[in-house]
Amino acid sequence: MNSLFCFHRIKLLSIRYLTEHWRRELVTLSVFLIAFTFIPRIVNTQNEQLSLFLFFLILFFGGARFTAHIFQEIHQPSEGMHFVHIPASRLEKYLFNGVITLIIYPCTCLLLYYGGNLLGNLFVPIMPSFLNYRVIEFSFSSLIPNYTLGKWLFQLLIYYAIFFLGSLFFKKHPTTRTFLAIFIIGCMLSLIEIFLIKIIFGGIDSLSIVGSDSSINIEINLEYLTHLMQNSRLASFIAYLAAFAQLLFFWIVSYLKFKEKQV
């Protein structure tokens, strides 16, 4: 413990994680592999869209649940004391759990996607015809949506960072509570954004609130907003900068909350 970061202790943390959670992870990964192997071929579709949808469903919702439970043990008195006394620094424990959620989990899902498709194609000749079992062509490029890979990765990192923080705040049902928190905060931010845009670029013409007959009549002049967004490179740079700032914010707050929990 003379140094803040040591790869040998990271290796020991990996061994400890696999020793304590290998059964749970094996069952989860087996379910993913079976889903990627059979479900896209049994359902009648013209292309691999369902397979891609299943992949993203697992990557986002399965990843959210995985990330939201990564620090679940520190909320329990006995398991929390065990975790605190592991001979590793806070930074090493934090980074190790971050690497599992941001790198190992997505890469494992990608390997299972390809493995399931390959295994499913091998089963095609022996499956009954009434199951509509067929060969599915797949490629890495088909996994990437129409927008850029960088934007997709930023959104995924921010998404996981939010649930990573939620795993530190919520003791029980962290996945559900984090989803609800995102929904409530998103609605509040959307309302604030709408009013700011209307006030800055259009102004409020009339505002009347009378019991259940509440009404807001607002006209927006988007000429200035359109002018500002004409430079697509500037807009793209601002979007990436904002995403990077959000990512740093969530990870820094998560680390500070993690230190607080350990103290």
Which residues lie below 8 Å from residue 136, measured CB to CB, with a gap of 6+?
A: 40, 41, 48, 51, 117, 120, 121
The pLDDT score that the predictor gives to residue 238 is: 75
Looking at the domain assignment, is residue 158 inside a domain? yes
What's the whole-number average pLDDT of the chain? 77
Check whether 228 has a pLDDT greater than 70: no
* Mean per-residue pLDDT, 70-74: 86
Q: Show the tokens assigned to 136.
A: 């599915």
Looking at the domain assignment, is residue 194 inside a domain? yes
Residues forming a β-bridge with 204: 218
Looking at the domain assignment, is residue 123 inside a domain? yes
**41 falls in which pLDDT band (50, 70, 90)?**
confident
CA-CA distances (angstroms) from residue 143 to 49, 51, 71, 114, 152?
10, 10, 30, 11, 11
The pLDDT score that the predictor gives to residue 196 is: 75
Check whether 89 has a pLDDT greater than 80: yes
The pLDDT score that the predictor gives to residue 163 is: 93
Looking at the domain assignment, is residue 118 inside a domain? yes
pLDDT tens digits, residue range 91-146? 888 989 988 998 899 889 888 888 888 888 888 777 776 666 777 766 555 555 55
Residue-number span of the structural domain to which 238 is assigned? 7-262
**229 falls in which pLDDT band (50, 70, 90)?**
low
Looking at the domain assignment, is residue 2 inside a domain? no
Give the sign of the dihedral formed by CA 259, CA 260, CA 262, CA 263. Answer: positive
CA-CA distances (angstroms) from residue 117 to 48, 52, 129?
10, 11, 18
Q: Which residue has the higher pLDDT, 220 or 43?
A: 43
pLDDT tens digits, residue range 145-182? 555 666 777 888 889 999 999 999 888 889 999 999 99
Looking at the domain assignment, is residue 231 inside a domain? yes
Check whether 76 has a pLDDT greater than 50: yes
Q: With 0.75 as the threshold, say if the pTM is over it.
A: no
The pLDDT score that the predictor gives to residue 45 is: 56
The pLDDT score that the predictor gives to residue 225 is: 53
Number of domains, the chain: 1
Residues forming a β-bridge with 218: 204
Query: What string of DSSP letters covers 46-68?
Result: SSSHHHHHHHHHIIIIIHHHHHH
Alpha-carbon distance of 219 to 240, in angstroms, equals: 30
Looking at the domain assignment, is residue 104 inside a domain? yes
The pLDDT score that the predictor gives to residue 210 is: 42
* Mean per-residue pLDDT, 30-47: 76
Q: Show the tokens assigned to 258.
A: 């993690």
Check whether 33 has a pLDDT greater than 50: yes
Looking at the domain assignment, is residue 55 inside a domain? yes
The pLDDT score that the predictor gives to residue 74 is: 84
